[in-house]
Copies of this chain bind each other. A is one copy, B any other.
Amino acid sequence: MAAWGERLAGVRGVLLDISGVLYDGGEDGGTPIPGSVEAVARLKLSKLKVRFCTNDSQKSRRDLVGLLQRQGFDISEGEVTSPAPATSLILKERGLRPHLLIHDGVRSEFDQIDTSNPNCVVIADAGEGFSYQNMNKAFRVLMDLEKPVLISLGKGRYYKETSGLMLDVGAYMKALEYACGIEAQVVGKPSPEYFQLALKEMGVEAHEAIMIGDDIVGDIGGAQRCGMRALQVRTGKFRPSDEQHPEVTADGYVDNLAEAVNLLLQHAIK
């Protein structure tokens, strides 16, 4: 690989994944990854632009930011691109009235949305809300529509909590896709539109931006397909086999966010 100076030249903006990069989630709210609180603080003192880009669809942006602030992170709601507010925007723009199959924790993001007489289904990481009854209700809404529209907040297969692996929204998206014979529209990484939204909100072009994430496909591959550079951290859901992934090679692998920020401050800013 080229020297870091070459790989990081011209970077003006940094997109940070949250879960697995800033902190590890869990029922107790989770814990910060060592060095990440300081790394974010140093990054925000630099000339680089910073934005947070998550696929978390179980918590409102307010709750997520509150949780991170209590862990010591310098982060505010306006700095976060998350799937629920992005979906809310899309629903308004397209005049869609959703049937919501979502977690109660994220319901407040849809307070301003008309959900009467639904003409689409929005599915997010509903956790225990993925009962047979709720799935069947969403299925029937879709089957009653002439052209069924299914919007999925991310398409993750699973994630890790302190209690073990948890099925993510992608699995249930696939169930509804198969039952209805349709394809869902994904709002979240690795959807190009989602990365482009985050870049626009940060005010930086793709070729001047770098993504830092723990998911080799969703974060690294997705960002690179949009013309960005991307670093994978060896924290969160990282597995050693990721460094030999058959389809995706990151622009660099670093032990954690702290190392990524050291490199960026040393090489990206001249």
Contact of A136 among B131, B133, B166 (CB under 8 A): B166
Asked whether B132 lies within 8 Å of A130 as measured between CB atoms, the reply is: yes
Asked whether A157 lies within 8 Å of B179 as measured between CB atoms, the reply is: yes
Q: Which chain B residue shows the least CB distance to A178? A: B174
Q: Given known contacts A167-B179, A178-B170, is B139 in contact with A158 (CB within 8 Å)? A: yes
A164 at interface (Cβ–Cβ under 8 A)?
yes
Asked whether B167 lies within 8 Å of A132 as measured between CB atoms, the reply is: yes
Q: Apart from A128-B132, A171-B179, what 8 extra A-B contacts exist at CB < 8 Å?
A: A130-B132, A130-B135, A136-B165, A139-B165, A140-B164, A143-B165, A170-B178, A174-B174
Q: Which chain B residue shows the least CB distance to A170? A: B178
Contact of A158 among B158, B174, B179 (CB under 8 A): B179
- For the complex, what is the distance from the CA of A135 to the CA of B139, rounded to whole Å? 18
A157-200: which have CB < 8 Å to B? 157-158, 164-168, 170-172, 174-181
- For the complex, what is the distance from the CA of A70 to the CA of B185, rounded to whole Å? 48
Which residues does chain B contribute within 8 Å of A136, judged by CB atoms? 165-167
Which residues does chain B contribute within 8 Å of A132, judged by CB atoms? 126-131, 167
CB proximity of A253 to chain B, nearest CB, Å: 23
Q: Which chain B residue shows the least CB distance to A131? A: B131
CB proximity of A85 to chain B, nearest CB, Å: 25
Which residues does chain B contribute within 8 Å of A128, judged by CB atoms? 131-133
Which residues does chain B contribute within 8 Å of A170, judged by CB atoms? 178-179
Which residues does chain B contribute within 8 Å of A167, judged by CB atoms? 132, 135-136, 139, 175, 179
Which residues does chain B contribute within 8 Å of A168, judged by CB atoms? 179
CB proximity of A99 to chain B, nearest CB, Å: 15
Question: 29 A-B residue contacts at CB 8 Å?
Answer: A126-B132, A127-B132, A128-B131, A128-B133, A129-B132, A130-B131, A130-B135, A131-B131, A132-B167, A135-B171, A136-B166, A136-B167, A139-B158, A139-B167, A140-B164, A140-B165, A143-B158, A143-B165, A157-B179, A157-B180, A158-B179, A167-B179, A170-B178, A170-B179, A171-B176, A171-B179, A172-B175, A174-B177, A175-B175
